[in-house]
A and B are shown apart, each in its own frame.
Chain A
Amino acid sequence: MKTLINKSIHRKLATRLAITGIIISLVLGIAVLLVERGKVGEVVLDRALQATVHFNTQAGYLLDKPGLPDRKEIQRELQAFVSRGFKLRKSRYGRMGYSVFVRIFDLDRSEVAKYIDSSYSDIEAVETYMGSSELRIPLDDEDLYEIIRIHGAPYIKVGVPLTSSGGDVVAHAEGVFSVSSEAAADARRRALRTVFIVIAIVLVTTGLVYPVVIKLMSELKNTQLQLIQAEKLESIGRLAAGVAHEVKNPLAVIQLGVDYLSKTLRGNKDATESVHDMGDAVKRADTVIKGLLEFSRPAKPKMETLGLNNVLEESLLLVKYELTKNSISLDKQLGNELPLVELDRNKIKQVFINIFMNAIQAMDSGGTLTVRTSSSKLSKENFNMHCKHTDRLKAGDSVVITEIEDTGTGIPEDKIDKLFDPFFTTKPIGAGTGLGLSVTRGIIDLHKAAINIMNRNEGGACVSIIFKTS
């Protein structure tokens, strides 16, 4: 039952975590793509600036050359210069682009030179663009640079004044540069790489965090179950004490009535017998009440440092008759030189006898009762299997383990979680009060020990009790 609940919790949690992971990845991925896209623009601008500076210096030098007064001469020289050198330089990002169209104007804004890259296949579009207003992306206060789109593809438009070496503006140049697809692809690649890294980080983190979350969740669940159980036991305990008190008064009346009648009815056989039966009934009722009170306020244990095997042997003596009567053979596998354990001899005897009697009742047509003791360090496996409900033992503790196995009917799986609940019993009505194992559990808790009951694969049940050694 518990594992089923755990599994469904795990599945729900896993789904939730996976969805969260995917959403985070997507959001981060989109954010990265947006940022990287913006970067394409920045990078392009950066390149354009370099190209402009280069252009400016060269042009100034050119215009200052003596012996070139003629406009046509200038135009020719500029054209030569432009077709020769007006290419964007290589940068650390690779080739960013090249000029596809350059025009140079004099101060009156009349065109003095024009350069068109003949290899460019869409010159017409560029020429059309040059006169039109295009999408302008303001990247800076600087009006000289613009990113424009022609048929959706990005180009840089640059306008610069051309100065002489004396610092005078002698002409204006306007150029359009393509952005190499290589650079854009590079930026896209980098964006994608970042997205993958982000997704990987999210997935790895999810992977690392998941088991921790699961552990925390199951610990929380465990603590909650323990709290609920403790609360339940406490309220039942209070109820039990109240009920016990209320029932004892009428029982006292009946008992005294029985005593009175048994004296006055002497001589009448039937009446005497009836009164005797009534007396027995009172005794039985009182035993149940005693169990209730035991459960509601277990007396303080008297701790001694003892060998567990001795206590087991003493307890076995007390059920010897029951074993023989029910043709049950006893298989004792008691460990040698076990470390001593702090325990209340009588209470632990009560625990053992209780478990023996349960085992004997489960083997009504004979069988084998195996009693085994051993000492070891508490393994993780044993801890997980037997000590989950207690926070007093931890893996690695030195412990003495007692196992009591029967070859009886075992416990129905749907009942196994309820065995320690007060008033829960699998025995026929009247055969058990349903308090035995609750009291047992109470005693085990007093000893800061752990108890667990499970079905054996071979049939029958196994009760494990784990004591920390002193």
Chain B
Amino acid sequence: MAKKKILVVDDEASLTRMLRRNLEATGKYEVREENSGALAHASAQEFQPDLIMLDVAMPDVDGGEVAARILDDENLKNIPIVFLTAILKKEEAESTGSNIAGRTFLAKPVKLDDLITCIENKLGE
């Protein structure tokens, strides 16, 4: 089975690195890191991921803006997006079924198991 491609966007390089390492260790995913919100759209165009993990609060272009650009792009708009954010409490994210206004949110710090479950659910949809 071909590996699923995941684009991880977060301004914190250590986090994207850790995400890549963890996800690739499962043997199921190919991960690309992007640490700039401004470049995220271009990365997505080039990488053509199956799923995008997106930080919300980023210094240049925030996650909401990145998501809007991707949804505006005919070629990318169907790619599922999972927001990964420190703004929410875990309980808040969970109490809403990790779903706020139709978007999927995970609260940092996220456990790897929860992350993978969420990714699998999204990819299976």
Contact A256 B91 (CB under 8 A): no
A257 CA / B22 CA spacing, docked (Å): 8
A263 CA / B92 CA spacing, docked (Å): 28
List B65-124 residues whose CB lies under 8 Å from chain A: 84, 86-87, 89-92, 107-113
Give the interface size bracket for A toward B.
Answer: 20 to 34
Report if A245-B22 is in contact (Cβ < 8 Å); known contacts: A251-B109, A256-B15.
no
Asked if A317 is an interface residue, CB under 8 A from chain B, the answer is: no
Q: Which of the listed residues B12, B18, B57, B110 has the most CB atoms from chain A within 10 Å of its own CB?
A: B18
Contacts of B14 in A (CB 8 A): 253
Asked if A393 is an interface residue, CB under 8 A from chain B, the answer is: no
Quote the shortest CB–CB distance from A252 to chain B (angstroms). 4
Contact A293 B89 (CB under 8 A): yes
Contact B87 A290 (CB under 8 A): no
Q: Which of the listed residues A254, A260, A294 has the most CB atoms from chain B within 10 Å of its own CB?
A: A260
A254 CA / B108 CA spacing, docked (Å): 11
Q: Is the interface of A mostly helix, strand, loop or mixed?
A: helix
Q: Can you list, as one digit per residue, whether each of A254-274 has a CB less than 8 Å from chain B (1) or not (0)?
A: 111101100110000000000
Contacts of B25 in A (CB 8 A): 260, 263-264
Complex: chain A residue closest to B26, CB-CB = A263
Contacts of B112 in A (CB 8 A): 255-256, 259-260
Quote the shortest CB–CB distance from A15 to chain B (angstroms). 54
Asked if A249 is an interface residue, CB under 8 A from chain B, the answer is: yes
Asked if B19 is an interface residue, CB under 8 A from chain A, the answer is: yes
Complex: chain A residue closest to B13, CB-CB = A253
Complex: chain B residue closest to A251, CB-CB = B109
Contact B22 A252 (CB under 8 A): no
Asked if A204 is an interface residue, CB under 8 A from chain B, the answer is: no
Contact A259 B111 (CB under 8 A): yes
Asked if B21 is an interface residue, CB under 8 A from chain A, the answer is: yes
Contact B92 A249 (CB under 8 A): no
Contact B22 A260 (CB under 8 A): yes
Contact A249 B15 (CB under 8 A): yes
Contact B15 A253 (CB under 8 A): yes
Contact A249 B22 (CB under 8 A): no
Contact A252 B87 (CB under 8 A): no
Report if A249-B108 is in contact (Cβ < 8 Å); known contacts: A260-B25, A290-B89, A299-B92.
yes
Asked if A276 is an interface residue, CB under 8 A from chain B, the answer is: no
Quote the shortest CB–CB distance from A216 to chain B (angstroms). 43
Contacts of B19 in A (CB 8 A): 256
Asked if A282 is an interface residue, CB under 8 A from chain B, the answer is: yes
Quote the shortest CB–CB distance from A169 to chain B (angstroms). 112
Quote the shortest CB–CB distance from A255 to chain B (angstroms). 4
Contact A255 B111 (CB under 8 A): yes
Q: Which of the listed residues A251, A252, A254, A293 has the most CB atoms from chain B within 10 Å of its own CB?
A: A252
Contact A248 B92 (CB under 8 A): no
Report if A254-B86 is in contact (Cβ < 8 Å); known contacts: A245-B57, A259-B22, A264-B25.
no
A294 CA / B21 CA spacing, docked (Å): 33
List B5-44 residues whose CB lies under 8 Å from chain A: 12, 14-15, 18-19, 21-22, 25
A244 CA / B14 CA spacing, docked (Å): 19
Contact of B109 among A254, A264, A293 (CB under 8 A): A254
Contact of A249 among B21, B86, B91 (CB under 8 A): B86
List A289-321 residues whose CB lies under 8 Å from chain B: 290, 293-294, 299
Contacts of A282 in B (CB 8 A): 109
Asked if A36 is an interface residue, CB under 8 A from chain B, the answer is: no
Contact B12 A253 (CB under 8 A): yes
Contact B109 A252 (CB under 8 A): yes
Contacts of A299 in B (CB 8 A): 92
Complex: chain B residue closest to A262, CB-CB = B112
A27 CA / B89 CA spacing, docked (Å): 69
Report if A257-B109 is in contact (Cβ < 8 Å); known contacts: A290-B91, A299-B92.
no
Contact B109 A255 (CB under 8 A): yes
A246 CA / B109 CA spacing, docked (Å): 11
Contact B87 A245 (CB under 8 A): yes
16 contacts between A and B (CB under 8 A): A248-B107, A249-B15, A249-B86, A252-B86, A253-B14, A253-B15, A255-B110, A256-B15, A256-B21, A256-B110, A257-B18, A260-B25, A263-B25, A286-B90, A290-B90, A299-B92
Residue numbers of A with Cβ under 8 A of B are: 244-246, 248-249, 251-257, 259-260, 263-264, 282, 286, 290, 293-294, 299
Closest 7 pairs (CB-CB, A-B):
A248-B86, A259-B112, A252-B108, A255-B109, A256-B18, A252-B109, A251-B109
